[in-house]
Amino acid sequence: MVPDTVDADSEFAFELRTCRWAEREWPPDGDSDADTTHIVARQLGTKRRRWDTIVLECDPGALAQRANFGPKRLESDHLHIVRNAPAEWTYYRDALPHPGYPWRYVREAIHEADDRGILEARKQGNRIEIRRKWPYPDWCERIVAIENKPDLDASAARALGSQLEYDVAVALADEVWVATRQTGERVEPVLLEDLPVEAGVLALDPDTLEADVGWYPRSLAADESGTRILERPDDGTRGSSAARFEYVDPQQKADKRLAIAERAYERGWRSFVDTMRPDCRYFELQAAEGAQLLPRCGATGDCQTAAQCSGSCPDFQPEPPIWRTKGWPLEGGPGKRLKALLADRRRRQRPRTDTGAGQ
């Protein structure tokens, strides 16, 4: 028989519960600062390291100004322009620092930014001049990375240890945490593992969304150079292979942090639906607690992952066409409405995104 509750035991469901908890409760010490607001996203990072959950701590005024640029992310070429665009009309090559790639790509990006409504551009003779519409604000103050490990068996703990060591060494985030399932034991088992002391530990009950801090993290030197671990010794004995690493300079880190923040701003954590098949007749969103909507597969009764919920799923069946004729708009049935519902919830977490560019 198909169970009628969301399976909060899977790693994916736990991750979504952590996101929801962070959205409601951050920061974990409950000492919320009126001068800070936050945005939660998931599955973002670099090509070498992807974090499960990300919390951006933001300046509320600057975040509201960021909305001028619309809900979509700004890529690095657009950021280069809007961050350096002058208040008065100026020839673009006089206004912008050399980008490190040919100017013709900058011209293309200027036209795109103009079309998108985030920059003003005009032709004076054969010269392109630009003028900013708004200053690009310094909206993201801190980045917090959370690794979700609901069940920490020995091999998960080993993998987690090296992931956190990597995060601490490169210090791309300002803080790293591990979130694990609350066991109710006097000492949470995760605290007995050999994890870097710089990483915080959070014990979360995914059903009640109550969390205890088992260990507070140390702030990492995100604005200084970091060390990227490329290879570890194959064992701990003398004469084994040496570790290999490289330095990451502060500017490279700052660019990467802003790129991550922009992607987090666009995607949030409810975008899981974008990589699933809400057009399948079995796709459901089910409220687990309060108003959180988690995906649920009506065929299996589980909270399915994006990998399972794809066109290759053996149980996939398209929404019957008749569903699109009974009060649903012709361009889409319930699946479209579910996507819109999640997008609307994501928008509510971004002040003023209904009024910015590209609307």
Contact 1, 34 (CB under 8 A): no
Per CB under 6 A, 245 contacts ligand SF4: no
How far apart CA 144 and CA 41 sit, in angstroms, is 10
**Does 304 contact ligand SF4 by CB under 6 A?**
yes
Contact stretch for ligand SF4 (CB under 6 A) within 70-78, 175-183, 215-223, 296-304: 296-304
Closer to ligand SF4 by Cβ: residue 177 or 282 = 282
Contact between 299 and ligand SF4 by CB under 6 A: the answer reads yes
**Beta pairing, strands 119-124 & 37-45:** unpaired
**Paired sense of beta strands 175-181 and 140-148, if any:** parallel
Binding of residue 313 to ligand SF4 (CB under 6 A): yes
Beta strand ranges found along the chain (DSSP E): 37-45, 50-58, 90-91, 119-124, 127-132, 140-148, 175-181, 200-205, 210-215, 226-231, 244-248, 283-287, 293-297
- Interface residue with ligand SF4 among 285, 308, 319, 338 (CB under 6 A) is 308
In whole angstroms, give the CA distance from residue 200 to residue 191: 10
Asked if residue 106 lies in contact with residue 92, where contact means CB atoms within 8 angstroms, the answer is yes
Q: Which is nearer to ligand SF4, 245 or 323 (CB)?
A: 323
Please identify which residue in 168, 178, 261, 297 interacts with ligand SF4, judged by CB under 6 A: 297
Q: 125: alpha, beta or left, given left = phi > 0 and alpha = psi -120 to 50?
A: left
- In whole angstroms, the minimum distance from the beta carbon of 283 to ligand SF4 comes to 4
Task: Kindly state the smallest distance separating residue 347's Cβ from ligand SF4, in Å.
Answer: 25
Of the pair 25, 315, the CB lying nearest ligand SF4 is at 315
Is residue 305 a contact point for ligand SF4 (CB under 6 A)? no
**Is the CB of 316 or the CB of 328 nearer to ligand SF4?**
316
Span interacting with ligand SF4, options 36-44, 138-146, 257-265, 276-284, rule CB under 6 A: 276-284
CB burial of 78-113 (b: ≥16 within 10 Å; e: otherwise) equals bbbbbbebeeeeeebeebbeeeeeeeeebeebbeeb
Contact map string, positions 18 to 57, toward ligand SF4, x by CB under 6 A: ----------------------------------------
Give the DSSP letter of residue 74. Answer: P
Q: What six digits make up the tokens of 18?
A: 């952590």
Q: What is the C-alpha separation between 72 and 45, in angstroms, rounded?
A: 17
- Residue 346 beta carbon to ligand SF4: minimum distance, rounded to whole angstroms: 21
Q: What residues contact residue 7 under an 8 Å CB cut-off, 6+ apart? A: 13, 301, 302, 303
Binding segment (CB under 6 A) for ligand SF4, from list 68-76, 159-167, 246-254, 303-311: 303-311
Among positions 49, 72, 315, 343, the unique one binding ligand SF4 when judged by CB under 6 A: 315
Contact residues toward ligand SF4 (CB under 6 A) are 277, 280, 282-283, 297, 299, 304, 308-309, 313, 315-316
